[in-house]
Amino acid sequence: MQCGSSRQVSNQGAAAFHRARGGMIGRRRPRPLPPEPDGTELKWPGATNRVELFAQVIWAGVLTTLAGLAIITLPAAIAAGTRHLNRYLRAERSTVRSYGSDFLRALPGGLLVGVVALALAAVLGLNSFLAATQVLVLWPVILCVGILGLAATVVALLQVGFHWAPETGWKVAVREGLRRTSGDPVGGALIAAVAAVAGVIAWLLPPLVVAGVGCLLFTVLTVNVRPRRGAGPEPGS
* pLDDT, tens digit (0-9, with 9 covering 90-100), for 134-189: 888 888 999 999 999 999 999 999 999 999 999 999 999 999 999 999 999 999 99
CB distance 113 to 174 below 8 Å? yes
| Domain presence at residue 109 | yes
Q: State how far the Cα of 162 lies from the Cα of 180, in Å rounded to an integer.
A: 11
| Domain presence at residue 5 | no
| CB-based burial label for 132 (10 Å; 0-12, 13-18, 19+) | middle
Of the candidates 4, 75, 64, which has an alpha carbon nearest to the alpha carbon of residue 218? 64
| Domain presence at residue 8 | no
Q: How confident is the model at residue 21 (pLDDT cuts 50, 70, 90)?
A: low
C-alpha to C-alpha distances, 208 to 21, 58, 82, 192, 237, nearest whole angstrom? 60, 10, 19, 18, 28
Q: Who has greater pLDDT, 32 or 190?
A: 190
Q: State how far the Cα of 71 lies from the Cα of 87, in Å rounded to an integer.
A: 25
| CB-based burial label for 83 (10 Å; 0-12, 13-18, 19+) | buried
DSSP state of 34: P
Handedness of CA 224, 227, 231, 236 (dihedral sign): positive
Q: State how far the Cα of 112 lies from the Cα of 103, in Å rounded to an integer.
A: 14
pLDDT of 92 reads: 86
Its domain, for residue 53, covers 47-225
**Domain total in the chain:** 1
What average pLDDT is seen over the chain?
83
CB distance 152 to 181 below 8 Å? yes
| Domain presence at residue 237 | no
| Domain presence at residue 148 | yes
pTM: 0.77
Q: Who has greater pLDDT, 66 or 29?
A: 66
| Domain presence at residue 14 | no
Of the candidates 86, 85, 80, 77, which has an alpha carbon nearest to the alpha carbon of residue 99? 80
| H or E stretch covering 92 | none
| Domain presence at residue 12 | no
CB atoms within 10 A of CB 197: 13
| Domain presence at residue 231 | no
